[in-house]
Amino acid sequence: MPTVAVKLYSVFFKLVLKHRLQSLLQSPSVQTEPDPFGITCRADESTSPANPSFSAADGVATKDIHIDPLSSLSVRIFLPSPELTVSAQAPVQKQAQNGEAYQGYLPSINGVRRQSKGGSRKLPVIVQFHGGGFVMGSNNSWANDFFCRRIAKVCDAMVVAVGYRLAPESRYPAAFDDGVKVLQWLGKQSNLASIASAKGVAGGGGAEGRIVNGTDPFGTATVEPWLAAHADPSRCVLLGVSCGANVANHVARRAVESGKQFEPVKVVAQVLMYPFFIGSVPTHSELRLGNSYFYDKAMSVLSWKLFLPDKEFDLDHPAANPLVPGRGPPLKCMPPTLTVVAEHDWMRDRAIAYSEELRKVNVDAPVLDYKDAVHEFASLDMLLRTPEAQACAEDIAIWVKKYISIRGHEFSY
């Protein structure tokens, strides 16, 4: 059973959550037209500032980027300390150590920014979607920052945490569309970096890659240096936490449906951590654990009412219930899917059932079931430092490395 401290914190958490959800239901934004720009963080939620220096604690640097001029969509990039080497002919930039800022590119020479020639380490990309019932949470909260740093470190990967728009200011499908936009942005960034490298801007070339007469016909000036230097989008994993798992699963389906639209981004796997699935017909765990820890079923239904437009509210909505047949691409086309569930989480049965449906069509879809655990046991602020949270991150890394490791260095599972 969960500890007494967890039980007490859960009671307090649910009281605060109920008050916040009811306040949002009564807010003017529920009655007004959706805000296309939206918000990605509540004013009363604490955040952790980005730090482009490699932390002495974990060796991970972070930066925030606003990627869509028409909305508040943003990302936070988590870069684990790279092992950089530079060409003997190139100007030497000392490798960034703990506490030093890292820019990704070598100093500018004659107006041309240069990168270490073939020396940067290419990392797989994990696109992470935070939890919060679609109405709370953010990609730069303290808890999400801590969680993403841990994932970046144990998976040895660049993590791109998505700050999608929150409801009720921006209802469905805003958060799902934002997830798709991030994949499109990653693909565009990779293509721009390739053009810049070919033109000599980012590949250590000469003056032929310079911006001429103030023009930049290829848009290479917008290349994100950390992505250009270290991201390998052909090894992309989607990771969703709670409602973020719903977003990740939708983005995976869109990636399957789109074919080559996101190239060179390739979704090789997804991780669904205690997904926020629900349905009109209750499962055994919903009946048995509906009033369980932190997020009980009644408050989750309130979150869905805030997220789905009034005319579309249905617990069997495609965003809520992946088990309704005839929606989206065939399940056999879905990427390998790891599902994480907790013993004391009322959402567990539907997540397990979804995993079983994937396995029926020969998709690699194991389930990690944690005893005595509660919803968000590996990502909630109070529980992040527990042995179970650390073990969960390490278990995820073992499975994910089957799909992101370079050939010849695969991990067995």
| Active-site residue set | 242, 345, 375
**Cα separations in angstroms, 196 against 93, 186, 312, 413:** 20, 15, 45, 39
Beta strand segments in 14-122, E: 60-66, 74-80, 106-109, 112-114
91 close to 109: Cβ distance less than 8 angstroms: yes
* Cβ atoms of 115 and 104 closer than 8 Å: yes
Q: How far is CA 61 from CA 47, 255, 303, 313, 397, in A?
A: 16, 29, 33, 41, 19
Break the chain down into helix, strand, coil percent, rounded to 5.
35, 15, 45
Tell me if 200 sits within 8 A of 207, measured CB to CB.
Answer: yes
- 405-409: long-range contacts (C-beta < 8 A, 24 or more apart)? none
Closest Cα to residue 76, out of 121, 105, 41? 41
Here the tokens at position 349 are: 């049965």
Q: Where are the alpha helices (DSSP H) in 215-342?
A: 225-230, 243-258, 284-289, 297-307
Q: Classify 92 as helix, strand or coil.
A: coil
Cis status, amide bond into 264, omega within 30 of 0 = yes
**CB atoms inside a 10 Å sphere around CB 326:** 4
**Given the DSSP bridges, would you call strands 106-109 and 112-114 parallel, antiparallel or unpaired?**
antiparallel
